[in-house]
């Protein structure tokens, strides 16, 4: 039984471009960093929108709230992914040697 | 991010309804205004909206397509319906016969439009909240 068919298909698809696991562009650390930067960007945008609202420069309130909600959802998504990562780390840590 | 597209569409709806409220408020405020910059009495304003589309790459079929980006306001036009003629000889803007041209605004219509705009705004907020709770629900996948 194939344990992870999706992963194999993914690897087969990318075979031509990056067979090397240490490929600088696509290694796990960089992907994580990129995504965290995106989450941070949303936080910054929400912060700016709030600043503008307080300073009275904002056109409308709902776009501020929308930016805040987007930032919140992105952060919660990141937290969920972190939980999954830690969970799998702990699972490996508990492994009997 | 594409996940937030629904919320952005709702947000454009909120902006549109705000504009509608602006024009309605202006109509109510100017219900008895007899002088304007263009001369003549105030005319009723109507906000006009247009469907907003944007180009987006469809990855599945590998081609560009037009997808919804919500609504956008094309502008505010004037209602050309007939102005009211009110007999008031003491009014400074009355003509020789004593009639004053008043704006073509019926306060009752404006109130009804205002209720419609308020409800439409609420509907957009509800849609936005629904899409938000869908996204939050997605995060619960694999939790249990």
Interface predicted TM-score of the whole assembly (ipTM), two decimals:
0.74
Structural domain range at position B113 = 2-31+45-78+105-143
**Any idea where the domains of chain A sit in the sequence?**
30-94
Structural domains of chain B, count: 1
Which of the two residues, B122 and A4, has the higher pLDDT score?
B122
Q: Is B108 on the interface with A (CB under 8 A)?
A: no
In a domain, B130, yes or no: yes
B3 neighbourhood in chain A, CB within 8 Å: 73
Q: Per the structure block, which two tokens stand in for A82?
A: 């972190």
CA-nearest residue to B135 within chain A is A73
- 3-class DSSP assignment, residue B46: strand
Higher pLDDT, B90 or A17: B90
pLDDT tens readout for residues A31-66: 888 889 989 999 999 999 999 999 988 878 888 999
Alpha-carbon span B117 to B124, nearest angstrom: 11
What is A12-72 written as a DSSP string? HHHTTT---TT-TTT-HHHHHHHHHHHHHHHHHHHHHHHHHHHHT--S-HHHHHHHHHHHH
A85 in contact with chain B, both atoms CB, cutoff 8 A: no
The pLDDT value recorded for residue B55 is 86
Is the pTM value of this prediction over 0.90? no
Q: Is B95 exposed, middle or buried (0-12, 13-18, 19+ CB in 10 A)?
A: exposed
By Cβ distance, the residue of B1, B14, B132 closest to A69 is B132
B80-121 pLDDT, tens digit each: 999 999 999 999 988 999 999 999 999 999 999 999 999 999
The answer to whether residue B99 is domain-embedded is no
């Amino acid at each position: 039984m194939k344990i992870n068919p999706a992963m194999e298909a993914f690897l087969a698809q990318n075979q031509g471009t990056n067979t090397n696991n240490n490929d600088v562009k696509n290694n796990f650390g960089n992907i994580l960093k990129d995504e965290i930067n995106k989450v941070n960007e949303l936080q910054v945008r929400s912060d700016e929108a709030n600043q503008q609202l307080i300073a009275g420069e904002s056109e409308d309130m709902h776009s501020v709230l929308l930016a805040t909600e987007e930032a919140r959802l992105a952060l919660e998504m990141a937290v969920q992914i972190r939980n999954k990562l830690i969970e799998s780390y702990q699972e490996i840590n508990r492994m009997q040697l | 991010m594409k996940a937030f597209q629904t919320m952005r569409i709702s947000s454009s709806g909120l902006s549109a309804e705000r504009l509608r409220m602006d024009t309605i408020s202006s109509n109510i405020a100017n219900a008895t205004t007899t002088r304007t910059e263009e001369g003549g009495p105030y005319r009723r304003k109507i906000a006009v909206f247009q469907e907003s589309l944007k180009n987006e790459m469809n990855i599945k079929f590998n081609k560009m397509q037009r997808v919804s980006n919500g609504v956008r306001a094309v502008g505010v036009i004037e209602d050309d319906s007939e102005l009211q003629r009110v007999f008031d000889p003491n009014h400074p803007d009355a003509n020789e016969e004593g009639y004053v041209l008043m704006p073509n605004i019926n306060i009752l219509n404006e109130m009804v439009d205002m209720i419609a705009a308020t409800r439409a705004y609420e509907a957009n907020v509800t849609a936005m909240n629904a899409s938000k709770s869908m996204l939050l629900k997605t995060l619960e996948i694999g939790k249990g």
